[in-house]
Amino acid sequence: MLALLSKIAREEDRIRAVVLNGSRVDPGVFPDPFQDYDVVYVVTEVESFVLDPGWPSRFGELMIMQTPDDMGESAQRDPKEPRTSYAWLMQFADGTRVDLTAVRVDRRERVLEDSLRVLLLDKDGLFPPFPVPDDSTYHVQPPTQKQYDDCCNEFLWVTPYVAKALWRDQLSGARVMLEQLVRPQLLKMLTWHVGMRRTYAVSVGSYYKKLDALLSPAFRAALTRTWPDGDPEQMWDALLQMGLLFRRAAGEVASESGFGYPALDHRRVMAFVRYIRWLPPDADAIY
């Protein structure tokens, strides 16, 4: 695939440079056959590529493709304004995945924002020599006091949402709230925790894909216990386990950073959650 990507670029006059990004140039990622090819073509203009329906098929037989620039708010652009970039996310029938972005020459500085980059082709000397690729662009950043406080407050604020939904036997709602409201705050705190333990010189990867390997064995086992199946009792256990794990991680981050954890809020909220768990299903009052 790299040979094909380079061959097409060499033969196509509109393409002036090729840059490879992502996991395939990340020295900290163990290679496997499912790694994407994240490629940037630096081009003289973008529009002719977009208007050519046969362009993606030059790279292989497509299974499915997504063009995010044509979706959602990204599609709300002035058609009179020339495009400066465009992306084709291509999954091929042979299992290969290529995320190809065309970037106009005058916007090529975008390429330099990513520390994971290797220059494969440069017809015009557009770029200086690239340094050895590393993942420093993606390193965890230490939280500010406000970011930390907001994370703690949000976690404790939304935790009772799940408890109330479980008590009402609203299992779909409870699961959605567990995963979309509570868990993001837990993962944010765990990210800070692994960053703190490694002087913030580490990346957890997109979608937290490196997080498990970075956690201590005890933290990883505790996180595993927060993944319930569809059983309501397991969901209760997972919610309470998330509270325990959040408290431990947040306490260590607070101690290292000089912050204060809202321990009283935590005790009150988790006591309320445990109370709701055993509140009779036909109760007509909370207390």
pLDDT of amino acid 28: 85
82 burial (CB, 10 Å; 0-12 / 13-18 / 19+) is exposed
Identify the domain boundary among 137, 155, 184. Answer: 137
Arithmetic mean of pLDDT, 70-92? 91
Q: Are 84 and 47 a contacting pair, CB within 8 Å? A: no
Q: Please tell me the predicted confidence (pLDDT) of residue 276.
A: 98
**Which two tokens mark 16?**
């002036």
On the question of pLDDT at 267 being above 90, the answer is yes
Q: Are residues 104 and 189 in the same domain?
A: no
254 and 209 in a common domain: yes
What pLDDT was estimated at residue 126?
97
How many CB atoms neighbour CB 255 within 10 A?
12
Same domain, 132 and 144: no
Please enumerate in sequence order all residues whose Cβ is within 8 A of that of 66, keeping only pairs 6 or more positions apart, or say none.
Answer: 89
Contact between 281 and 169 (Cβ < 8 Å): yes
Do 175 and 192 lie in a common domain?
A: yes
What value does the mean pLDDT take over residues 56-68?
97
What residue numbers bound the domain in which 63 lies? Answer: 2-137
Count structural domains, the chain.
Answer: 2
Domain co-membership, 6 together with 101: yes
Write out pLDDT tens, residues 119-154. Answer: 999 999 999 999 999 999 999 999 999 999 999 999
188 and 118, same domain (yes or no): no
From CA 81, how far away is CA 275, in angstroms rounded?
A: 59
C-alpha 212: how far from its chain's center? 14
Residues in Cβ contact with 228 at an 8 Å cutoff, skipping those fewer than 6 apart:
175, 178, 234, 235, 237, 238
- Please tell me the distance from the alpha carbon of residue 197 to that of residue 253, in angstroms, as a whole number: 9
State the pLDDT at residue 261. 97
pLDDT band of residue 117 (cuts 50, 70, 90) is very high
Mean pLDDT computed over every residue of the chain = 96
Same domain, 8 and 59: yes
Same domain, 156 and 200: yes
Please report the pLDDT score of residue 62 as a whole number.
97
pTM as predicted:
0.90
Q: Last residue of some domain: 105, 137, 169?
A: 137
